[in-house]
Structure 1
Amino acid sequence: MFQPLLTSEFFCFIFPLLAELARVRRNFVEKVDKVVIKQLLDDLLGDGVLSDGQKDAILEENNSTADKARCLIDIIKKKGDVASLKMIAHLYARDSTLHSELGLSCGPPAQPAADQQMNIVWSTTLIPTTEAFWMEKVKDGKTYPADKNSIRNRVALLITNIKFKGLSDRNGADKDEENMEKLLKALGYQVVKYTNLTGKKIDDAVRDFSEHPKLKETDSVVVVIMSHGKLGKVLGCDHDDENPDEFPINNIYKHLDSENCPALLNKPKIIFIQACRGENKGSVLLSDGAGVRDDASQPGPPLCADNKNIEDDNSRCVHKEKDFTCLLSSTPDTISFRHRVDGSFLIQYIVDVFNTFACKEHIHDLFLKVTHRFEEHFIEGQMPNMDRVSLTKHFYFFPGL
């Protein structure tokens, strides 16, 4: 496993964490409630920190809430720093007020930046958001609307091409499909799934998805397409050199735009494309003194409507392409990499980042964390690329509501 850097988002510094838990033990036992204890037990069971037997023993062998809390924190202390870090992180997600009252929101005295580079413990299950965080964000005016009914009606499209007629099979892509489906379902999306489609069938699937009955009720959609590819296109499973079988990525935007899919007007449309965009590697060798060239042309004057000549015809115009954001697995003309067993690095990193941070971060900050992991590990220069971003507000998944 790669060992990325610890950010200061909500994980405490490991300085030691055993001492941190010992310091707050008394107050934790006095203040934590039964609901939070059960949530922490579920979280730690999902992470593999606790076994089923340990969870059951904490609940069944202790009568009072305080005894359950005391038993839980003592077991976690014995398991070491990694387990302690996970419990502190889950406590923050479940009850940020108690986390703050216990004094866990701060690390040690300020350290030099180099000394702050510690390891993140990536959650293996989706950390849920809190009701308080959701209410704060939906009221701030900077966040896309997301009530509980719309969250319950979420729907996503997942297309994975694994076997090909004229190209090599995508070994490990079945793991990508499994991991992405699990993540989407945990985020509250009903997943419409297809495997091994031709380019035309991919187009049909996206078009059919644009007419899904739940789109009127959902707060957002996610579209994931994973296959071989080239610049601007995803390859269908019948592709070979003599008979191209292709799906233009631009068709996603056409089928889901305001004109062709009015049910998604003003709703975020999040797109993930795992596919090569060319045959080049995304890395170069630089010598000292390499020059920098800026070919950006000067922008022209802004285009403004002549308001004096506009009349009201009892109709309105809307932006044809709005509320999209897309994360592609590589920059233009470059290749993407995939582990033969564990699947694509993009999907692995998306799952890690979303499981750990979707409870508190909006979509673009999540994207940035994914790209940061590629920067840290430098996998043959592969760098994901955000494209055609037209979101006008922050979008949060609010997992667990």
Structure 2
Amino acid sequence: MADELFRVRSKFVEKVSKDLIKQLLDNILDDCIVNDGERDSIIEENVNRADRARCLLDTVKRKGDVASRKFIAHIQRRDPTLYDELGLAEQGLAEQPAPPAAETQMDQEWSTTLIPTTEKFWMEKQNDKKVYPVSKTAFKNRVALLITNITFTNEKYNRKGAEKDQENMEKLLKALGYDVLKRTNLTAKEIDTTMIEFSKNPKLRDTDSVVVVIMSHGKLGTILGKDWKDDNPDEFSINNIYEHLGSEKCPALLNKPKIIIIQACRGEAGGAVLVSVKQAVLCDDVNQLELSAGEENIEDDTLHCVHREKDFISLLSSTPDTVSYRHPDRGCFLIQYIVDVINTFAHVDDIEELFRTVMQRFEDFPVPNKRQMPTKDRCTLTKRFYFFPGL
């Protein structure tokens, strides 16, 4: 379908009206083919009708066959005359039913390596005041923190498959240009100390962004250290991440995107703890005690941090009070999907759209009778951030 759009590109640019472009943009926004930022970019960065038409069609074409099929169907419904003039009726494309949601993920071909952005795309975004600036100098000074708890003092909590997550995330972050500080098997106190040391890293002054990835067991509001036991609450408060990297304690990151990825359970609802290595998937919940919602004062958190936090975006592996799952050989589903999505779309999509795409992959969870939904949390980005891979 994307090839069919390319075939009619010249004629589409020549004949499509300005009003139809606006209608089609509304349609593909409703279909989640583009996000608000992409829609605004097509309108604002292309003054004349022809340039706007080219950008619209090229954007849809890059999204793949499913998006192209939907776009062609909208042309047929909105302007049957144009649809016929483009020769699309002869192909019978719009009459083909869109595939069900379960098949859409199968249709997508995920890249196994990072697709580089183009110099033109980077140059265009540098002139956009709604986009965080990324200079080539800052790109070379990127730094990331990767913390992975794999083995625990109590061996029954060991996270089989987490080695793969660590390997995949390190490879991805390095490909995105980040100097990765890797730490493994830390207590809660050591996690906190590592975060403080990271907040004082001299490279933060010259970077355009940071990424912090923490993978362990967890509970609502906390990440578990390697010494966690029923009688030893070795727990690191997730709130500390925002404290240590916030404006007050880390002025070097002022007005710079801070991307937080946490792979850890946030409770135990949604399924029992899977401990047998014979099981198809495992989960990252070790808490067997009832956690009252009142133990985390969300209202106080918000009031405490609202004036000190800015330019954060976080992706947590599950919704509050629920577990997240891990394959004993391939690693956590969240990390697998993040790698797939960033490899495939980071050259054209901003971080919020990338996270949305990751979340969409969980709509059809591959394990029967299991459900997991990642959650964007405490997002205070005021602009769009692009990784610009390969810059």
| TM category, shorter | 0.5 to 0.7
Q: Is the 8 A contact 1:328 1:385 kept in 2?
A: yes
1:132 to 106, 120, 137: 120
Q: 1:138 to 1:319 in 2, by over 3 A?
A: farther
State which of 354, 360, 364 in structure 1 corresponds to 2:352: 364
TM superposition outliers: structure 1 runs of 4+ over 4 Å: 12-15, 103-109
- Residue 343 (1) aligns with residue 326 (2): no
Deviations 1:69-92 (A, max 9, x none): xxxxxxxxxxxxxxxxxxxxxxxx
- Secondary structure of the 1:204 match is helix
Structure 1 partner of 2:322: 334
Deviations 1:261-291 (A, max 9, x none): 00000000000000000011189xxxxxxxx
Give, as a single letter, the amino acid of the residue that structure 1 aligns with 2:148: T
Match of 2:311 in 1: 323
Question: Map of 1:380-395 to 2, 5 A cutoff?
Answer: 380-395=370-385
The structure carrying a bigger helix percent of its residues is 2
The answer on 1:221 being equivalent to 2:205 is no
* Counterpart residue number, 1:205: 194
CA distance in 2, matches of 1:381, 1:394: 30
- Distance 1:282-1:384 versus aligned 2 partners, 3 A rule: farther
C-alpha separation in 2, matches of 1:377 and 1:148: 39
In 2, Cα distance between equivalents of 1:358 and 1:112? 32
1:252 equivalent in alignment to 2:235: no
Cα 1:165–1:142 change in 2 (3 A) is: same
Q: What one-letter code is carried by the residue in structure 2 that aligns with 1:133?
A: F
Structure 1 unaligned segments of length 5 or more: list them. 1-11, 25-95, 284-317
Q: Is 1:115 matched up with 2:115?
A: no
Identify unmatched segments of 5+ residues in structure 2.
9-53, 74-93, 273-305
Structure 2 residue aligned with 1:236, among 225, 234, 245? 225
The separation in 2 between residues aligned to 1:128 and 1:116, in whole angstroms, is 29
CA distance in 2, matches of 1:350, 1:250: 23
Contact 2:317 2:334 in 1 (8 A): yes
Q: 2:153 aligns with which of 146, 165, 172?
A: 165
The CA distance in 2 between the partners of 1:14 and 1:148, in whole Å, is 33
Deviation at 1:137, TM superposition (A): 1.1
Asked if 1 retains the 8 angstrom alpha-carbon contact of 2:174 and 2:180, the reply is yes
1:298 alignment counterpart: none
2:98 aligns to what SS in structure 1?
Answer: helix
| In 2: Cα distance, 1:208 partner to 1:257 partner | 14
Give 3-state SS (helix, strand or coil) of 1:145's partner.
coil
**Contact 2:365/2:372, CA 8 A, preserved across alignment:** no
Q: Structure 1 residues 141, 206: closer, same or farther in 2, change over 3 A?
A: same
Q: Distance in 2 between matches of 1:282 and 1:358?
A: 33
How big is the shift at 1:356? 0.1
Counterpart CA distance in 1 for 2:345 and 2:96 is: 22
Q: Is the 8 A contact 1:145 1:219 kept in 2?
A: yes
Normalized against structure 2, the TM-score is what?
Answer: 0.66
Aligned pair count reads: 277
Q: Give the equivalent residue in structure 2 for 1:61.
A: none
Q: 2:257·2:385 contact (CA, 8 Å) conserved in 1? A: yes
Q: What per-residue deviation string (whole Å, max 9, x for no partner) do you get for residues 157-216 of structure 1?
A: 000000011242100000000000000000000000000000000000000000001000
Residue identity (%): 62
User: Helix, strand or coil: the match of 1:258?
Assistant: coil
- Alpha carbons of 1:116 and 1:159: their partners in 2 closer, same or farther (altered >3 Å)? same
Residue in 2 that maps onto 1:400: 390
Q: Does 1:195 align with 2:184?
A: yes
- Deviation of 1:138 (Å): 1.5
Instruction: Write the distance in 2 (CA, Å) between the matches of 1:184 and 1:321.
Output: 24
Aligned-pair CA distance for 1:319: 4.4
